[in-house]
Structure 1
Amino acid sequence: MPLMRRSAPRTTRAHHTTAPRATRATRTTARPSLKTRLLGPKRTTARRTPATTTTTTTTTRTTRTSGAHHGTAAGGVHHHKRHATVGDKVSGALMKLRGSLTRRPGLKAAGTRRMHGTDGRNARRV
């Protein structure tokens, strides 16, 4: 009978462990949104205290009671445009994309109007 070599008893391999990670500090305030980061901090104007002169003036507003609508007779209708912000342009582009992907032409048109500032928000000036 040939002589069999006995192997050394196997020891179980210990799992490779890493050093414990340092705990992350949690935020106390919310992270700024994309719109906030794009537009930057809010600019405030410096306010001066007015001089101490006291002058009282009374003004009366003139109101138009009736009249023709402007632009209807000749030249077409002037469409009210507001200033579209960067956030309006981004959300309008996403609305337009969603409308074209889901085949909803109304949503696509609403996105275009939002991008151009002709969607009717802030349209009433009294």
Structure 2
Amino acid sequence: MPHHHTHTTTTRTTTTRRRGLFGRKKVVHHQKRHATLGDKISGAMLKLKGSLTRRPGKKAAGTRRMHGTDGRGSHHTARRY
């Protein structure tokens, strides 16, 4: 007669299996800038335009502009005289 073992299962939040090349989970951080009132208004207009024209990309761009994560001002270089 075969022996039957009882097992208890536990749920854990961290994974022990290695994935990818180095097996480390990378946390993505999006550089944020301060969204002005004008950014928020133009972002809302862009979102509305995207909703009405069924363009998800435009809608997402409006959201990014409103949140200050659209990358504007991130390519600033020092002014040379």
Name the TM-score, length of structure 1 as normaliser: 0.39
Q: Does 1:114 align with 2:65?
A: yes
Higher normalized contact order (CA 8 Å, seq sep 6+, divided by chain length): 2
How much does 1:122 deviate?
A: 1.0
Greater fraction of residues in helix: 2
Map 1:5-24 to 2 at 5 A.
none
Equivalences, count: 54
| Aligned-pair CA distance for 1:74 | 4.9
Quick check: which has more Rg, 1 or 2?
Answer: 1
Residue type of the alignment partner of 2:39: D
Tell me whether 1:97 sits opposite 2:48 in the alignment: yes
Cα deviation, residue 75, structure 1: 5.2
Q: CA deviation at 1:77?
A: 1.6
- In structure 2, give the amino acid aligned to 1:123: S
Q: Deviations over 1:54-96 (max 9, x none)?
A: xxxxxxxxxxxxxxxxxxx555121100000000000000000
Percent identical residues = 70
One-letter amino acid of the structure 1 residue matched with residue 27 of structure 2: G
Tell me how far 1:125 sits from its aligned partner.
Answer: 6.1
Change (3 A) 1:80 1:125: farther
User: Under a length normalisation based on structure 2, what TM-score does the superposition of the two structures give?
Assistant: 0.60
CA distance in 1, matches of 2:54, 2:28: 30
- Aligned-partner Cα distance in 1 for 2:74–2:27: 18
Output aligned runs, 1:1-126, within 5 Å: 74=25, 76-124=27-75
Q: Which runs of 4+ in 1 moved over 6 A?
A: none
CA distance in 2, matches of 1:87, 1:113: 13
RMSD: 1.8
